[in-house]
Amino acid sequence: MGETKKRREPKNALVLMGSPRPKGATAALVDCFVTQWHDQMRPEDPVQIIPAYEAALKPCIHCGYCKHTQGCTYDDFIPIDRAFQDADLLVVASPVFCLGFPAPLKAILDRTQQYYEAKFSLGIQKPVKRPKYALFLVTFGSSDSRGAAMMEEQLRLVFHLLNARLEHTIMARNTDTLPLDRKGLEDACQGVLQDFKTKMNATNRG
């Protein structure tokens, strides 16, 4: 039987924020998460939030640099890499745009191709060393959850490279027509964090 590795208690939560609107539905959902993170886990520690539209990363140009040298030909990913390396819990928060991610967040996800090449071309087993839990927060205007499901699939691919395991997705649907159920979303975030705690305790006991 393989030995189960102990997990340290998550201290550093990182949110990749995909919405351009600081007062939109996604921001409200992130706010529910941050409130619960402080209530349940780390009252003192700030959550690092990277707004994808402000980070405004260049899109991957498939130049092949990362196939031969670890890293990227563009240096704008360096702070994001540092944040990925330090995070214990990774949250991707996004609205659905045309059944997918808004372009600036998609650019960040595509730039993780450098971890794929680090692993499969350069033989670096874990380009992101620290294992982490991951959570997907998604909002969409309609009741059609196909976009959210497709985005979840994309994230599973990327999370694998980030040494992250997607444990939960929280959806807020009908945001264009109905008011946000803030209480319901806070309860969902609370449940997710409780589950992380239970899983961690079980791993650390085993």
Alpha-carbon gap, residue 150 to 167, rounded angstroms: 16
Q: Determine if 54 is a binding residue for ligand FMN (CB under 6 A).
A: no
Choose between 25 and 107: whose C-beta lies nearer to ligand FMN: 25
Q: Determine if 97 is a binding residue for ligand FMN (CB under 6 A).
A: yes
The phi and psi torsions of 194 (rounded to 5 degrees) equal -60, -40
Q: Are 130 and 87 in contact (CB under 8 A)?
A: yes
Q: Give the total of residues touching ligand FMN (CB under 6 A).
A: 19
Choose between 77 and 97: whose C-beta lies nearer to ligand FMN: 97
Choose between 39 and 144: whose C-beta lies nearer to ligand FMN: 144
Burial of 117 (0-12, 13-18, 19+ CB in 10 A): buried
Both tokens of 145, joined, read 């959850």
Q: What is the 8-class DSSP label of residue 92? A: E
Q: Determine if 169 is a binding residue for ligand FMN (CB under 6 A).
A: no
Q: Are 77 and 111 in contact (CB under 8 A)?
A: yes
Q: Determine if 181 is a binding residue for ligand FMN (CB under 6 A).
A: no
Cα 33 versus chain centre, distance: 13
Q: Determine if 136 is a binding residue for ligand FMN (CB under 6 A).
A: no
Q: Determine if 84 is a binding residue for ligand FMN (CB under 6 A).
A: no
Alpha-carbon gap, residue 205 to 145, rounded angstroms: 37
Minimum gap (Å) between residue 99 Cβ and ligand FMN: 5
Q: Are 86 and 138 in contact (CB under 8 A)?
A: no
Please pick, from the candidates 10, 14, 15, 19, the single residue that binds ligand FMN as defined by CB under 6 A: 19
Count of alpha carbons within 13 angstroms of residue 6, beta-carbon side: 4
Please pick, from the candidates 85, 141, 154, 165, the single residue that binds ligand FMN as defined by CB under 6 A: 141
Minimum gap (Å) between residue 116 Cβ and ligand FMN: 27
Both tokens of 73, joined, read 């030909």
Choose between 10 and 95: whose C-beta lies nearer to ligand FMN: 95
Positions in the binding site for ligand FMN (CB under 6 A): 19, 21, 24-27, 95-99, 139-142, 144, 147, 175-176
